[in-house]
Chain A
């Protein structure tokens, strides 16, 4: 104890326990690849320590000025082809507080449904002016925004005629390691959402709806771009009135 006269962490650094019902299970046989990539043992539930309540911080000077503009960040001889869209939203925690300075990284297929990836062999054409990735930090309100091309749907090897709905992948890094989240955003009105085996790994319809970006007419740029809104909720931190410090000493 005498090595650590200052408590190593406070209880209010702890995150609410994760609700498994909010997420897909590891083993979801309709998504075939999960069958051999899912642990069979129960996760060991770990009372959080400094290792879980801390996480890397990122600064604006690590990102380039076009990193959040997918229409221009890989443009060589012209602009990327496809429907111009702005995607934006707030990153909040479960108590509704903005998550500031969160790193939001996104990646997607181009308008033809083709990824710029050496392992993607789909017939859809590559766009020489579109890379398909971007990144940004949330502002003081937890808001993020990027501009891109609406990705196309594409077939994938699961059942013989499975198609992914248009989607954008998100990886979000908040203020604690326990908040790390990867997900996918879908577009309101896409008929492929109803049958997608990856979406159907989630049992809860309300949780699926939370992944569908809403058409955001007020955020349209007239004569230029349409907009979609996608809000993200990361794990919240516990309220800890009348509670001792993690170390068992007064903070």
Chain B
């Protein structure tokens, strides 16, 4: 026994399992139970900001799409402000039409997931150094023992990305590319494509936050 004062230990994580949809997205599991469901559409018609879709797949170490994955997305509003009291940035307002959070399930056939949202603004990082616009992603599934955290940045923000203090923490420049969503135009819809590789070639950077 040492004399160190120890805080309580965090409860151990366990996999969300193959049936995570029942709890977090019951309609995807095939039934309707709650009146209000949390979903993948973050913006309403009134939300200010550029409408975008973020779409991708999660691939396992064999390159096979993970078809039972659930992702949650957390982001700032178009001005770069989070809807949370810890965000004390001046000159930026909380947007009452935008919580900035959603969850999406991969399609059971194709493995594709998608969020409909707005492009976030830049948020102040530590010491006030601005962070490039980004969204935060949390990934759970069968076979994932503890939720994986990553970020998606935007490829049309090359200058801001080059100065981003978090991207620059990643020693291997080649790995920074795994966090960049690729902008595509599909008729009148702007889509950022973002595939997440759990393992192997081009393995996505995951963060210990």
Contacts and interface: CB of A to CB of B under 8 A. Distances in A.
B49 interface: no
Contacts, number: 301
B143 A39 contact: no
Contacts of A233: 8-11
B198 A51 contact: no
A239 B199 CA distance: 36
Interface string B146-157: 111101000000
Nearest to B37: A62
Interface residues of B, number: 84
A3 B91 contact: yes
B78 interface: no
A192 interface: no
A180 interface: yes
Nearest to B26: A133
Q: Is the interface of B mostly helix, strand, loop or mixed?
A: loop
B136 A51 contact: yes
A5 B198 contact: no
A44 B164 CA distance: 15
B128 A248 contact: yes
Contacts of A184: 14-15, 17
A96 B8 CA distance: 7
B60 interface: yes
Contacts of B23: 105-107, 133, 135, 169, 171
A112 interface: no
B110 interface: no
Contact of A247 (B30, B127, B142): B127
A247 B126 contact: yes
Given A49-B125, A51-B151, A56-B99, A210 B146 contact: no
A54 B167 CA distance: 20
Contacts of B146: 23-24, 26
B93 interface: no
Contact of A119 (B14, B18, B36, B124): B18
A40 B200 contact: yes
B14 A73 contact: no
A10 interface: yes
Contacts of B29: 115-118
Interface of A: 1, 3-10, 13, 16-19, 22-26, 28, 31, 33-41, 43-57, 62-64, 67, 73-74, 92-96, 105-107, 115-120, 131-133, 135, 169, 171, 175-178, 180-184, 198-199, 201-202, 204, 206-208, 210-211, 232-236, 246-248
10 contacts: A9-B86, A9-B87, A23-B145, A33-B142, A36-B62, A38-B198, A50-B86, A132-B22, A183-B11, A233-B10
Interface of B: 7-24, 26, 29-31, 33-36, 60-62, 64, 66, 68, 72, 74, 76, 82-84, 86-91, 99-101, 108, 123-128, 130-131, 134, 136, 138, 140-149, 151, 166, 169-170, 175, 198-200, 203-209
